[in-house]
Amino acid sequence: MRLLLLLVAALWTGVAARAAEYPTKPIHVIVPYGAGSTGEAALRVVANVVESKLGQPIIIESRPGAAGNLGAAFVAKSDPDGYTLLLGATNNFVINQYLYPNMGFDPLTGFEPIGVLVELPFFIYASPQLPAKTLSEVIQLAKQKPGSLNYASSGVGTPMHLGGVLFARFAGVEMTHVPYRAGNQSVAALLAGDVQFYIGTVPGAAELEKANKLRILSSAGQKRAPTLPSVMSAAEAGLPNFEISNWWGLVAPKGTPQPVIDALSREFRAALADQSMKDRLLQINMVAIGNGPKEFADQMKRESDMWRDVIKTANITIN
């Protein structure tokens, strides 16, 4: 028994020593989407600062497939040593598990949360061809003609789709979902007048509104978004309690030593707290968040409970 205790103590001492020396080699961050995603763009900005503090390069790798599940599963099954991390989006942590029952991992228990790095604020847009010019008028029109208004998304089960479902619930209306294969296709449909409504992010929306290509009705949250502060919030526009965005969080495989998690959290939070970093991220329409492991874990639990209810109630499935 004494020998066993000594062996356990020696093993723990070795793990603790390696964690204290962390990092001693490059850190790989997996982004489970194709190259050029919004999360990857934000990570590259932040990683330049963090890697200089950690003294090791941060290598960003794209592993797309299965709505982000392939890359996430790869990280979940990687060695818990802090050298393989996942930068996932909202759906990777709080949505996909209710749409893809055979992912092979549980995002709520299969990772060690490090923190939400950034948020991509969503807005509520309408086609200028729609006679309603404000959010309240759109809701009133939808109530008068149930199911006549349609909205675009980048696919079934995406945050844009679920945002429309959540909007309909809070507004007390019925709308028709028109899924496209990608976000740029759904935006193109809105600009062409093929759909009347969209919840998400449209690059260059302010200029498009000036050109009468779309209307920005409000932010998709209870507060004004820093990316377009002149646009009123959903609460101001007449839809209290409605809130949706697309955030990107950093996690490590389950069992990664706490000192490693703490080191990563500390450096990323410090980088994101810097005003110049916040300004740089705003230039690419991202908002710095930089919360800690506990806050991230609480957020995942809270939002996953909400989306589980939304998906179940609306009977949303992936064919």
Question: What are the structural domains of the chain?
Answer: 18-121+245-314 (3.40.190.150), 123-237 (3.40.190.10)
CB 46 within 8 A of CB 249: no
* 18-55 b/e (C-beta count within 10 Å ≥ 16 → b): ebeebbeeebbbbbbbeeebbbbebbebbbebbbeebe
Residue 182: per-residue pLDDT: 86
Tell me the pLDDT tens digit for each residue of 222-237.
Answer: 999 999 999 999 999 9
Residues 6+ apart with CB under 8 A from 224: 231, 232, 233, 236
* Alpha-carbon torsion (139, 141, 145, 148), positive or negative: negative
Res 183: pLDDT: 85
> What pLDDT does 16 receive?
52
Phi first, then psi, for residue 125 (nearest 5°) are: -115, 155
**pLDDT at residue 18, rounded to an integer:** 57
Regions of the chain where pLDDT drops below 50? 4-13, 15
Closest CA to 92 of 158, 178, 165, 184: 158
The Cα-based distances of 9 to 2, 15, 80, 82, 254 in angstroms read 10, 10, 19, 21, 21
Q: Give the long-range contacts of residues 61-64, CB within 8 A, separation 24 or more.
A: 61/28, 61/29, 61/30, 61/31, 62/30, 62/31, 62/32, 62/33, 62/34, 62/35, 62/37, 63/30, 63/31, 63/32, 64/32, 64/33, 64/34
Cβ–Cβ < 8 Å for 162, 89: no
Query: DSSP characters for 31-64?
Result: ESS-TT-HHHHHHHHHHHHHHHHHTS-EEEEE--
Residue 10, pLDDT score: 42
Nearest to 107 by CA among 65, 154, 159, 71: 71
Q: What is the pLDDT of residue 298?
A: 98
Q: 124: part of which helix (H) or strand (E)?
A: strand 123-126
